[in-house]
Chains A and B, each alone.
Chain A
């Protein structure tokens, strides 16, 4: 039973345009959500997070939106750059479960010049 789902395995975007990556979750106890970026043969690097008490968090070109009623979050990258090409993982945790992260399958973003 997959608790965190990223239904789009891949996304292709033109440089300068907006990239929108989506993530759905099923566990209503999740209270902390994160996005990670991963290059092949490297470990994931933390991008941005959001607590369940917020519906938006922004950091430079990256914005994460959380819709708790729909159990949905999204990552917006504006403007997209070729260096953003990587696999993006959505993750969620329940503080009462010790903060262990549950990951989605990832979405491979390709930003074309």
Chain B
């Protein structure tokens, strides 16, 4: 059973607000990922990290930023949210060359 947690599960905010989506895992995995998914579409990789102090942008350009100060924690921040940021954000972690374990997701709505 994977232990990866995301908060908040649901968030509705106004345009221009700063938000942070939290992601924590207790499995000691070095690799962590953020995917973005809209209904009926594929999951797009927006950020990934292979360990502490390592972060890279994914295949889909995103205005969000991430940090990896501790192995278990990989938060995603939007400095100024816009309606175009409305989406589901999925955090995941993995062992090397293994399957990804996903959190339950954070559904963000920007008004």
> Given A41-B105, A41-B107, A100-B48, does the pair A95, B97 have CB atoms closer than 8 Å?
yes
Q: Hey, which chain B residues are within 8 Å of A98, CB to CB?
A: 31, 48, 50
Contact of B96 among A36, A41, A45, A99 (CB under 8 A): A99
Q: Hey, which chain A residues are within 8 Å of B50, CB to CB?
A: 98
Tell whether B22 is near chain A: CB-to-CB under 8 Å.
no
Tell whether A65 is near chain B: CB-to-CB under 8 Å.
no
Q: Hey, which chain A residues are within 8 Å of B104, CB to CB?
A: 41-43
Q: Hey, which chain A residues are within 8 Å of B48, CB to CB?
A: 98, 100
> Given A4-B42, A89-B42, A105-B41, does the pair A99, B94 have CB atoms closer than 8 Å?
yes
Q: How far, in angstroms, from A102 to B90 measured CA to CA in the complex? A: 14
The size of the chain A interface, using a CB distance under 8 A, is 25
Tell whether B75 is near chain A: CB-to-CB under 8 Å.
no
Nearest CB on A from B6, distance (A): 8
Question: Does the CB pair B43–A45 fall under 8 Å?
Answer: no
Pairs of residues from A and B, 5 with the lowest C-beta to C-beta distance, nearest first: A43-B102, A103-B43, A103-B42, A46-B99, A105-B42
